[in-house]
Chain A
């Protein structure tokens, strides 16, 4: 059992969720079962999307993996450790559903925040943030403040921040939700490239069927209340080099879209394979 520098423990799953339930009990109200006996494994370097109707527990599952919340039952392991240990070891980067930037910091300082907290030197921080600003196409906005940016631009800053420490696991909650279609597709291509470069595993929450199909190795379809995994669909349209724009026109892509849609609606789909947002 050797330790490589890119992956913490080679034989462990990136994420291993076993029999996880999460029940929210609010005073004087009926308890809400957000998740019920969920099992999910994500291999190192694998890209897994979570898709399902609003309120089916996607964010809840992501928060459990990030150790922002504890399961009512079941266990969660990240790289073979407890979620808590993995968080303290900084094994993952996260982009929330809201950008969550600090309004009193410039865009660049926001991106550098995790590096600063983890005592990375000024020069290294600076070069890393420059790299990331280029990546998300915000080179000219490094010295701006978040409230001077559009919602989509803020979201891109949050993505850059999540990538700052090149984590082995990326947790992303609808990161492209606020982006226009063009930027969105560009960011999707970038994300595939980043994952190929860093060999990071990704757990990606989305509402968009085509997005899930385009990005994922596997798509996890969830059912609403109580949140359960309805099906897991293997997709993988090809390596990062083959998965360029033309693949969106490919039949394999449309097949994937129909398969996910069928699973979501529980009925076979007739024609019109073009993906729509299920929101």
Chain B
């Protein structure tokens, strides 16, 4: 019963708070006569969201797909390069300035350059931007993870005269996994954000970013907010899926 009580409190309380905030928001918009270009009310946004659900859905699919391609490419590259850097320290040292540079420059600033490189009609530029944004946290966290191997475990593998592959499979990778997933969790949101913001700099229409700008420029503010709501949902899905994967993989390991 106690468990029931807790889970009820954990679900119901935020839900009630959310409803209360929405109600206050709507009340304020109506009572203070706030103009829609300043802030539309939740009812108006919901109306646009469900009224244009097909458009929101296709826009989400376009941006979501770009983010997913970027996430997969960036994550694979990040883990692979971190593996190599963990094996060859030279590579690690060489990569430090590059990764530092990548981490400092806003990746979306590359968008105009990439659009001219890959053609303004293709989604490639957006996917590459998402991939680069994803690469950095995945690479850095994975590399850190590969350094987490406990000395006693490394010695154990040494004692068993285990091969490099055996050591990687049985000790290094499992030790690093929680860190790799931390990187992926951060990266999942970054992928959506980067893919979306890249749309602001050009390229084909149809994604969430373009839809937000075009709705806003035609003064349809409630519709713009409906697309923003769509973006939030896409980001949430990405985050929750990686979180779920992490939980699945790390069922039986103490959290570091």
Contacts and interface: CB of A to CB of B under 8 A. Distances in A.
Contact of A102 (B161, B166, B170): B170
A102 B160 contact: no
Given A102-B153, A113-B170, A117-B170, A66 B253 contact: no
A103 B170 CA distance: 11
A66 B159 contact: yes
B174 interface: yes
Contacts of A104: 174, 252-253
Interface string A48-92: 000000000000000000111000000000000000000110100
Given A102-B171, A102-B174, A113-B170, A90 B156 contact: no
Contacts of B162: 117
Contacts, number: 44
Contacts of B104: none
Contact of B161 (A88, A94, A96, A100): A88
Contact of B160 (A90, A98, A145, A147): A90
A21 B212 CA distance: 74
A226 B44 CA distance: 82
Contact of A100 (B153, B166, B170, B252): B153
A117 B170 CA distance: 9
B152 A87 contact: no
Contacts of A90: 160-161
Contact of A87 (B161, B171, B252): B161
Given A117-B162, A118-B160, A103 B253 contact: yes
Given A100-B150, A102-B170, A102-B174, A147 B254 contact: yes
A96 B152 contact: yes
Contact of A68 (B155, B166, B252, B254): B155
Contacts of B153: 100, 102
A114 B174 contact: no
B191 to A, nearest CB: 28
B158 interface: yes
B155 A96 contact: yes
B174 A117 contact: no
Contacts of B155: 68, 96, 100
A198 B152 CA distance: 27
A90 B159 CA distance: 8
B162 to A, nearest CB: 5
13 contacts: A90-B160, A90-B161, A96-B152, A96-B155, A102-B153, A102-B170, A102-B171, A104-B174, A113-B156, A113-B170, A117-B160, A117-B162, A118-B160
Given A87-B158, A104-B174, A117-B157, 19 more contacts: A66-B159, A67-B159, A68-B159, A87-B159, A88-B161, A94-B159, A96-B155, A98-B152, A100-B155, A102-B170, A102-B171, A103-B252, A103-B253, A113-B160, A113-B170, A117-B162, A117-B166, A145-B252, A147-B254
Interface of A: 66-68, 87-88, 90, 94, 96, 98, 100, 102-104, 113-114, 117-118, 145, 147
4 closest Cβ pairs, A-B complex: A100-B152, A104-B174, A88-B161, A104-B253
